[in-house]
């Protein structure tokens, strides 16, 4: 999750730079997720999955990943499953229920 947070910051910095019409500094070219992944020694795909959780996951799910109760991949799968739902509140409720079950010691 830390790499995803870094990727978000790198992307925001790049947007500011681009808006100011400044060229990229040496070593700052490329996708922010790839740059963050390299810095943290993880795959770009893992950072992209973590970004999905940060951007679309319930706050409780993000916190559960931060605490190590869910892997990034499992959390991203929950987010993607809920995205297929027609109602956003159901989407978050499903995530919250999964977090509550893990917190209560149930396997799921």
| 50 domain residue, yes or no | no
Angle 44-56/72-83 helices, nearest 10 degrees? 50
| 49 domain residue, yes or no | no
Q: How many domains does the chain have?
A: 2
Based on the domain organization, do 33 and 77 belong to the same domain?
A: no
88: confidence class by pLDDT, cuts 50, 70, 90? low
| 51 domain residue, yes or no | no
Based on the domain organization, do 99 and 65 belong to the same domain?
A: yes
pLDDT higher than 50, residue 108? no
Is residue 57 within 8 A of residue 91, CB to CB? The reply is no
For residue 7, give its domain range. 1-44
Per-residue tokens: 34: 């790839």
Angle 2-19/32-40 helices, nearest 10 degrees? 140
Least confident range from 19-28, 32-41, 48-57, 74-83: namely 19-28
Based on the domain organization, do 69 and 104 belong to the same domain?
A: yes
Based on the domain organization, do 24 and 68 belong to the same domain?
A: no
Based on the domain organization, do 30 and 68 belong to the same domain?
A: no
Looking at residue 50, what is its pLDDT?
96
Tell me the average pLDDT across 12-36: 76
Angle 59-66/44-56 helices, nearest 10 degrees? 140
């Amino acid at each position: 999750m830390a790499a995803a947070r870094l990727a978000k910051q790198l992307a925001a910095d790049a947007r500011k730079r681009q808006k100011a019409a400044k060229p990229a500094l040496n070593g700052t070219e490329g996708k922010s997720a790839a740059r963050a992944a390299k810095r943290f020694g993880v795959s770009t795909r893992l950072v992209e999955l973590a970004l999905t959780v940060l951007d679309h996951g319930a706050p409780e799910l993000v916190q559960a990943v931060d605490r190590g109760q869910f892997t990034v991949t499992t959390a991203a799968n929950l987010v993607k499953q809920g995205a297929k739902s027609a109602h956003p509140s159901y989407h978050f409720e499903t995530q919250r229920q999964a977090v509550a079950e893990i917190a209560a010691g149930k396997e799921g």
